[in-house]
Structure 1
Amino acid sequence: MVVTAAILAGIVALEHVYILIMEMFLWTSPSTRQRFGTSESFAKDTKSLAANQGLYNGFLAAGLVWGLLHPNTTFGYQIQIFFLVCVLVAAVFGGFTAKRSILIVQGVPAAAALIFVLLAQ
């Protein structure tokens, strides 16, 4: 159970590092524009906003890594729970205000990781 929880939390962290890279560094690239459904002009106009958003995704990833590597496992679980709930809240908000697919792409992995982290305690 502990290993599964760590793997799932790690996957959520990696997903947010990937989002950070897309939003901060690849926002105007054709593949990222296609993934987010944006036009070239929109991507250019919103590049700084996307970079800021990417930074926040990086903070989510950093928090999850911090929780995974914390030497006190009890506190590490608490950190993971906090950041997984943050990801889940962001996924629900994004799913209702931006694209429904965010609920699946970000929400489902975060919910699964959260369940396993809670069960691993």
Structure 2
Amino acid sequence: MLSTILIALVAALHVYFMYLEMVAWDRPLGRKTFRTTPEFSAASKALAANQGLYNGFLVAGLAWGFWLGEPGFAVKTFFLACIVVAGVFGAVTVSRRILYLQALPAALALIALWAGW
């Protein structure tokens, strides 16, 4: 049960990330969240939308794992692991905040999933 709640939380976070990157990137909320200037956000809007689309695929993968039920264990494991790796990479290359906002929740969900919680 705990793993289900944590995985749903991770999926919800990535829906929000997708929104921020695909819709709000060049709006005040997006610029404030990502600490960008209007010029930078306008110039990088297409790149951010692409990144947001990838976050949507992560959500779709987690939803697929839920839909599969018990056989979805491997699917959920794969997508959570992808999120952890992406979060660690983002923390190393972009901002340490990504480690706490993306990698940590996914790692906790992965631990709970594997522990059978």
| Shorter-chain TM-score tier | over 0.9
Find the counterpart in structure 1 of residue 24 from structure 2: 26
What is the identity, as a one-letter code, of the residue corresponding to 2:100? I
- Residues 1-121 of structure 1 aligned to structure 2 (within 5 Å): 3-71=1-69, 73=70, 75-120=71-116
After TM superposition, the score normalised by the length of structure 1 is: 0.94
Aligned residues: 117
The 1-side partners of 2:72 and 2:98 are apart by 26
> Per-residue deviation at 1:69?
1.7
Matches of 2:59 and 2:12 in 1, distance apart?
A: 7
State the percentage of identical aligned residues: 46
CA RMSD of aligned residues (A): 1.0
- Which runs of 5 or more structure 1 residues have no equivalent in the other structure? none
Higher alpha-carbon deviation: 54-63 or 30-39: 30-39
Name the amino acid aligned to 1:114: L
Gaps spanning 5+ residues in structure 2: where? none
